[in-house]
Structure 1
Amino acid sequence: MNGRLLFAALLLAALAGPALATDCPALLQGELPKLRAKESIDLCERFAGKPLLIVNTASHCGFAPQFKGLEALYKRYRAQGLEVLGVPSNDFKQEAADSSETAKICYVNYGVTFTMTEPQKVTGDEAIPLFKDLAEQSSAPRWNFYKYVVDRQGKVVASFSSLTKPDSDSLRAALEQAIASKP
């Protein structure tokens, strides 16, 4: 009987693996290198089933002070499941050439505790898959600090230009809608 139970457990585990992979939305397929760390972020493992705010950032952009507001949003809503993902990019020629400088600006100058990646391409044909999917669901970033609110199913519920401040009522309303969505 023990052999049958072991076989059944192994069979269930084998069948559950592919089922879990299909539960991950296309938007979250893949990995990105974490800023100034040796590990990568498995987007599906880290963010699947969670409401998410994704922002393309740039350390030397005039909108960089928005890091403080993004951190405040993260602290305000993280107990409700919200995750924030910052993706630095030099697509608009305002990101530091050295990721250690990017990290210092984010972590030291602005006190960022939400997840940040190494700089990535976020526009055009060379955009990473995450941003290609965001662009297909909404629109490509037109500048730094473009914000995407994603629900628990991996669907963009709203996007906001760089001019939209993190404390805006419309951004908070979209985040609350994403938080309220069912996994």
Structure 2
Amino acid sequence: MPPQKSQEELTALYHRNIDAVYRLCYVYLRNHADAEDAVQSVFLRYLQKRPEFHDMSHETAWLLLTAKNCCRDQLRTWWRRQRVDLDTLPEPTACTDAETRETLHILLSLPEKYRVPLYLHYIEGYPAKELSPLLGCRESTVRTRLQRGRSLMKRQLGGICDDTQHTGNAQSNRTTKRTDTMRHPGET
């Protein structure tokens, strides 16, 4: 059995990862309340399993993979399929400028197979190579989904996005969270 972690270590782990886990849950579930429920489930699973991590990137990857699984479980429930979607009601948004709100709205309107890789690549800074095990598909599939997702967004944004960039050159830049635009992590 792994050694028990102190309250301070658990608090630090939570604060290091809460934002990334919440954002991924929101990308999957598209609802603040459901995303908060999924986040609670993720950290509850962590407390139940108490996995040992090699480093912080392994810790974050485990939590994001668990978040993905929790969200998919939630999306498959009978209750979720039977309820009326509340997306028609306006929700307060943290986005302040119109361009960011429009980009976020378009991202959330994409099919899941494009929405999640685009979010993880451009917002969280994961390169396609690291997304492959996270999403459970080949790296070439991730790259294809990123390219097709960019093309869909470009069409919906009226040609604003530049999709000539290759996703293989993306740098892992998880410390700089880009929530303002859909750019490669290394762009200025």
TM-score range normalised by the length of the shorter chain: under 0.3
Structure whose CA Rg is larger: 1
TM normalised by structure 1 equals: 0.25
Q: Report the structure, 1 or 2, having the larger strand content.
A: 1
TM normalised by structure 2 equals: 0.24
| More RCO (CA 8 Å, sep 6+) | 1
Q: Report the structure, 1 or 2, having the larger helix content.
A: 2
